[in-house]
Amino acid sequence: MKKLVSIVLCLFILNSGFKLGNTIDTNAKIKAVFIYNFTKYIEWPQSYKEGEFTIGIIGETSLYSELIKMTETKKVANQTLEVKKFETPSAVTKCHILYVCKDKSSDINDIIKKLKNNSTLLVTEDNGLMEKGSGINFIIKDNRQKFELNKGNVEKYKLKVSSNLEALAFTVK
Amino acid sequence: MTKRIYILFISLLFTQVVFGQFIGKDAVSKALFYLQKNELDSSKKYIDEADLDQELITLPKTWYYKSLIYKDLYKLNEKDNKNSPLRLTAVESLKKLTEIDTTKEFIESAQKMMTYLASTFYNDAARSLNPQAYKNAEEYYAKYRELILLSNTGTDLLQQDIKFKLALASMLNQDLEKQAKKDSTKIEEVKGVYKMVLSLDTNNGSANYNIGIIYYNEAVDLINNMDYDMDLEKLNEMQDVCINLFLQSLPYMLKSYDLKYNEEATIKGLENIYHGLNDTEKEEFFKNLEPKN
């Protein structure tokens, strides 16, 4: 009998599972919350306040699927959200926010040329891109995601930056 | 008339045969008489009477027979009753016997009874390992321990204790995972049981691995439940909480890795924790250790 019970006990000793595989990329979710907040602190010109609010992504990132998920429940003012993925700088079309993945950082100059005459918030995630024209750049500080803000670069695209966003940025240039 | 006298004589003779042998006998002897006849209820009646006798309660045989009678009654009537009063009385009697049986007259038989009763408590502990009755499981296991140590004070129960605590933690953890919204008190309770295992065996792979996962999953749940609308100040606070949870998870998972416990899952776990900590270099290190399919 005791042997049988020992087996019962052994059956109970199971290991728990990790959640990443079947749920979310934690970092992508945090970035998505940041990006949605940027829409509250940046003002686009009148002509951009109609139609869909477009977030473009260039490069490979799990942020894409996270943003798609966000479009199911969120709007920017009255504008419905849409997410577009671009393979190359030349494929980029009009969007309110363009997120440049790290693997596409070297294309920044071509991307900036493509965005000329648009009102696009350029968001990046690599060192040194603020100096090359990025408006907001994600950085890691003490294991946490933070962002740098280059107000001048943002305003070049006829966007207005709320002072509250400046207060929340890790650095402002 | 002769017939009546004859009947009276026969009746007196019968009474003498049945009760005569009790003349001058104490309650324990009477209890033993019925015990030998397997009349346990009568036997119990007399052994309970012995409780009231100031002389009998000082004798080891009183407590030996009391434990034997109550143990047999438990086996017969209350084997499926996890809270059997008969079993508890048997245990208390055995404890009393151990205290006063200085000559160890009954030790061998008493040890067998203790082992038997201990096994019944162990079985009940195992059967009670469920979310509703686990507090009882802990009590039954404590009784099992007490009896095993009463039977042989030198018994090493360390491995048995670890096995029981792990089974308890595992059951609670499985139950927790079924809940959509986790109760933080329950989370702490599960962690507490795994930490008890680690206090017994710091190199226990399962406990290290599972505590690591619990901390990690707490952070993931918080992030998972974040609203996209959450303001940036709140988001920064949440990041602090989550990073702290990832950092708490880390030493346990690293220990699991050192112990080569559940290697594939541990490596995946470390990759995920470093991802949460935004430590790309270490994330890549563990990603490269993953088996290539």
Contact A16/B217, CB-based, under 8 Å?
yes
Q: Identify whether the C-beta of residue A134 lies closer than 8 Å to the C-beta of residue A149.
A: no
DSSP string, B212-279: HHHHHHHHHHHHHT--TT--HHHHHHHHHHHHHHHHHHHHHHHHHHHTTTTHHHHHHHHHHHHHHTT-
Let me know if B5 is exposed, middle or buried by CB neighbors in 10 A (0-12, 13-18, 19+): exposed
Is the predicted pLDDT of residue A71 greater than 50, yes or no? yes
Pick the CATH number of B164-293 from 3.60.110.10, 2.60.40.420, 1.25.40.10, 3.90.1310.10: 1.25.40.10
Whether A11 is in a domain gets the answer no
- Section A117-125 average pLDDT: 95
Cβ pair A161, A119 in contact under 8 A: no
The CATH number covering residue A161 comes to 3.40.50.2300
Does residue A12 sit within a domain? Answer: no
Dihedral sign for Cα A47, A125, A74, A42, please. negative
Interface contact flag, A9 B119, Cβ < 8 Å: no
Q: Note whether residue A18 is domain-resident.
A: no
Look at residue A4 and tell me if it is in a domain. no
- The pLDDT of residue A2 is 45
Spans of all domains in chain B: 25-100, 113-153, 164-293
- Whether A131 maps to a domain, the answer reads yes
Chain A residues touching B166 at Cβ < 8 A: 13
Does residue A161 form part of some domain?
Answer: yes
| Overall number of domains in chain A | 1
Q: Is A10 part of a structural domain of the chain? A: no
Q: With the CA atoms of A166, A64, B219 and A136 taken in that order, what torsion angle do they form, in degrees rounded to the nearest 10?
A: -20
Interval B138-158 mean pLDDT: 95
At A106, the amino acid letter reads S
Confidence of residue A3 (pLDDT cuts 50, 70, 90): very low
pTM as predicted: 0.85
| Whether B206 contacts B261, CB under 8 Å | yes
Across B257-281, average pLDDT: 95
- Non-local (6+) Cβ contacts of B245 within 8 A are B215, B216, B218, B219, B222
Look up the ipTM and state it: 0.88
B117 → chain A, closest CA residue: A2
- Contacts of residue A15 in chain B, CB cutoff 8 Å? 170, 206, 209-210, 213, 262, 265
Is pLDDT at A9 greater than 60 in this prediction? Answer: no
| Residue B181 confidence (pLDDT) | 81
Nearest CA in chain B to A138: B278
Which residues on chain A are in Cβ contact (under 8 Å) with B253?
none
Q: What is the pLDDT of residue B25?
A: 82
What is the tens place of the pLDDT at every residue in A97-120? Answer: 999 999 999 999 999 999 988 999
Chain A residues touching residue B243 (CB < 8 angstroms) = 142-144
Residue B206: φ, ψ to 5°? -60, -45
Query: In terms of residue numbers, what domain contains A54?
Result: 24-172
